[in-house]
Amino acid sequence: MTSNHVVFFDTTLRDGEQSPGCSMTTQEKLTMAHALEDLGVDIIEAGFAMASEGDFAAIATITQAVRKPRIASLARAMTEDIEMAGRALQFADRARIHVFLASSDLHLEYKLKMSRQEALDRTAESVRLARSLVDDVEFSPEDATRSDRDFLVEMVRVAVQAGATTINMPDTVGYSTPEEYGRMFAEVRERVPAIDAEGIVLSSHCHDDLGLAVANSLAAITAGARQVECTINGIGERAGNAALEEIAAALYVRGDRFGISTNIKLENLYATSQVLGQIITFRPSPNKAIVGDNAFAHESGIHQHGMLANPLCYEIMTPALVGVAKTHLVLGKHSGRAALRHRLEQLGFTLTREELQHTYYRFVALADRKKNIYDQDLIGVVPDQIREKRREPVSELD
């Protein structure tokens, strides 16, 4: 019986760092690792030990300073990679070696020049070696979603028999759709009975090339995956990885649909996103779900009126849930009288219906010419005679 708890495997420091402009120093990785620990992430993939001296040092440093999450290192299915990962993780309280080997014929033929049988033999040897170094071994058949299903099942079976404790089936190139991806998990579970019998954890790892990474991750969870691999702000190779904040928020807001618990502290999502944005060269797009600047901003007059009447009209979660200070009603050319009245009252002006109407016309005319409207602009569109009889002076404009 599959539990109703999903563990979060964060690969911001490994797959996320592979995104152009996202390279991090050891100290920056350590800062980010502490933020991930505070967020409640269960497993941190701290790097790829064999990739560089910097990655090795970052993994070793994080293992000694970050104790709550399990710390993982990626390794190709090669002896030197796995042994290097073991050395980098030697001080970890709880270590994981994450071994991967391509399972698709495309990758085996053109990238690895390896036969299917050689791949199966390599899988068994690599997992056994990793298991001799640590108790927790994850195996990923790379490009799983474009692999022959019978061969994928056989590779998973071999990895489980060799001692893998987690099987991750990545949508490496963001090719799959939710229905297909969920079906793959269901079929592998059915055809490899040892997964359920021995308590092997199935994991998803999705890329966003078709914009479906989060949807695919949720489909995998519905099909029995109990680990989800993701990154803060969705950074990663090409179009990025599944965004941690979106998956966590979806599981919470649609608890009626998923019935899943996690260890993620939702109120830390925005702060963690900000930490990453300060470290790398860019922040999330303004319209990024959950953590973007506009995620809780409203400009349309219809939306603003609804928000003032009851925030549930247009917000499915409170800003505080994810650590955002407040909803922001943006005053612009699409705004209505309700939002204008609300902001003017905050600034100390109480207007009659006629005064509001007159002020609104002046406001719209200004908004048609100006992209950003500030409080000083709002005071300026209030007629002089109204400003003179303002109830009380405003000591600070917020």
Do residues 301 and 251 both lie within one domain?
no
Q: Is the pLDDT of residue 370 over 90?
A: no
Do residues 215 and 188 both lie within one domain?
yes
Contact 123, 77 (CB under 8 A): yes
Note whether residue 284 is domain-resident: no
Residue 21: CB atoms within 10 Å: 8
Residue 89: CB atoms within 10 Å: 25
Cα separation, 221 vs 229, whole angstroms: 11
Do residues 305 and 242 both lie within one domain?
no
Q: What is residue 247's three-state secondary structure?
A: helix
Do residues 210 and 86 both lie within one domain?
yes
Phi and psi at residue 301, to the nearest 5°: -60, -40
Contact 157, 222 (CB under 8 A): no
Note whether residue 212 is domain-resident: yes
Cα separation, 315 vs 303, whole angstroms: 10
Do residues 259 and 317 both lie within one domain?
no
What are the tens digits of pLDDT across the range 164-194? 999 999 999 999 999 999 999 999 999 999 9
Cα separation, 188 vs 205, whole angstroms: 16
Do residues 248 and 336 both lie within one domain?
no
Contact 213, 11 (CB under 8 A): no
Compute the average pLDDT of residues 357-383.
88
Q: Is the pLDDT of residue 329 over 90?
A: no
What are the tens digits of pLDDT across the range 291-322? 999 899 887 778 888 888 888 888 999 999 99
Note whether residue 131 is domain-resident: yes
What is the model's pLDDT at position 395? 47
Tokens of 37: 């620990």
Do residues 214 and 336 both lie within one domain?
no
CA dihedral in degrees (162, 90, 78, 198; nearest 10)?
Answer: 20
Contact 167, 144 (CB under 8 A): no
Beta bridge partners of 231: 243
The DSSP 8-state label assigned to residue 104 in this structure reads: S
Report H helices in the chain. Answer: 26-39, 53-65, 79-88, 105-107, 116-133, 149-162, 178-191, 194-197, 213-222, 244-253, 255-258, 269-279, 301-309, 337-346, 353-369, 375-381, 384-388
Q: Binning pLDDT at 50, 70 and 90, where does residue 396 land?
A: very low
| Number of compact structural domains in the chain | 2
Contact 290, 322 (CB under 8 A): yes
Do residues 53 and 153 both lie within one domain?
yes
Look at residues 97, 41, 33 and name the one whose alpha carbon lies nearest to residue 61. Answer: 33
What residues make up the domain containing 358? 297-388
Domain end, chosen from 279, 307, 324, is at 279
Do residues 68 and 182 both lie within one domain?
yes
Do residues 254 and 370 both lie within one domain?
no
Percent of all residues in the chain with a pLDDT value above 70, rounded to a whole number: 96
Cα separation, 128 vs 30, whole angstroms: 30
Note whether residue 31 is domain-resident: yes
What are the tens digits of pLDDT across the range 98-149? 999 999 999 999 999 999 999 999 999 999 999 999 999 999 999 999 999 9
CATH code of residue 14: 3.20.20.70
Alpha carbon of residue 290 to chain centroid: 10
What is the model's pLDDT at position 390? 58
Note whether residue 242 is domain-resident: yes
Angle, CA of 102, 228 and 123, to the nearest 5°: 25
Note whether residue 57 is domain-resident: yes
Percent of all residues in the chain with a pLDDT value above 90, rounded to a whole number: 76
Look at residues 224, 229, 176 and name the one whose alpha carbon lies nearest to residue 201. Answer: 224
Q: Is the pLDDT of residue 393 over 60?
A: no
Residue with tokens 């209030």: 382
Contacts of 8 (CB under 8 A, 6+ apart): 40, 41, 42, 43, 227, 228, 230, 244, 247, 248, 262, 263, 264
This prediction has a pTM of 0.89
Q: What is the largest CA-CA distance in the chain?
A: 87
Instruction: Find which of 183-192, 323-332, 357-366, 382-391 is predicted with most confidence, using mean pLDDT.
Output: 183-192
Do residues 81 and 178 both lie within one domain?
yes
Note whether residue 288 is domain-resident: no
Note whether residue 398 is domain-resident: no
Do residues 335 and 235 both lie within one domain?
no
Q: Residue 71: enclosing H or E segment and its boundaries? A: strand 70-76
Q: Binning pLDDT at 50, 70 and 90, where does residue 388 land?
A: low
Domain end, chosen from 250, 279, 308, is at 279
What are the tens digits of pLDDT across the range 11-69? 999 999 999 989 999 999 999 999 999 999 999 999 999 999 999 999 999 999 999 99
Residue with tokens 């990739």: 51
Domain end, chosen from 279, 307, 338, is at 279
CA dihedral in degrees (264, 317, 374, 346; nearest 10)?
Answer: -120
